[in-house]
């Protein structure tokens, strides 16, 4: 009887902990993460919405966080060409990691930002 109980316990344990899988979209659905950064990448269409969701909440207005102003093309560009934008979102040592207190951007989002910067931060 004891043996049956311990087998049941082991089974429950395996079921309970076996179900804690690593649920990251990139890992679970690799085909969804084929990142298309070919062609023209539009600042207005691709980049601004990302910043709106993840950055402008803290970095706009009269007293932006860390004194880093974003929210207009000129301001976003200035942060980008300073190197601090990509350093902080790609979370390179030496920069303050952004979005602060949030989840690191996906590889595809980072690739889009990098492409925008590498192509000369166009206002397109």
Q: What are the residues binding ligand HEC (CB under 6 A)?
A: 54-55, 57-59, 65-66, 68, 79, 84-85, 88-89, 95-96, 98-102
Beta-carbon contacts of residue 25 (< 8 Å; ≥ 6 apart): 32, 33, 106
Q: Closest residue to ligand HEC, Cβ-based? A: 66
Closest approach of ligand HEC to the CB of residue 4, in Å: 53
Beta-carbon contacts of residue 23 (< 8 Å; ≥ 6 apart): none
Closest approach of ligand HEC to the CB of residue 40, in Å: 22
106 preceded by a cis bond (ω within 30 of 0):
no
Is-contact 112 41, C-beta < 8 A? yes
Nearer to ligand HEC, 39 or 101 (CB): 101
Closest approach of ligand HEC to the CB of residue 115, in Å: 15
């Amino acid at each position: 009887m004891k043996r049956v109980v311990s087998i049941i316990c082991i089974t429950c344990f395996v079921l309970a902990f076996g179900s804690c899988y690593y649920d990251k979209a990139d890992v679970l659905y690799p085909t969804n993460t084929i990142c298309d950064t070919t062609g023209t990448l539009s600042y207005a269409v691709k980049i601004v919405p990302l910043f709106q969701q993840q950055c402008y909440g803290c970095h706009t207005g009269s007293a932006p966080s860390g004194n880093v102003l974003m929210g207009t093309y000129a301001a976003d560009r200035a942060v980008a060409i300073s190197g601090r934008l990509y350093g902080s979102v790609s979370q390179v040592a030496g920069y303050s990691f952004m979005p602060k207190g949030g989840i690191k951007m996906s590889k595809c989002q980072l690739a889009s930002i990098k492409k925008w910067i590498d192509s000369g931060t166009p206002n397109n």
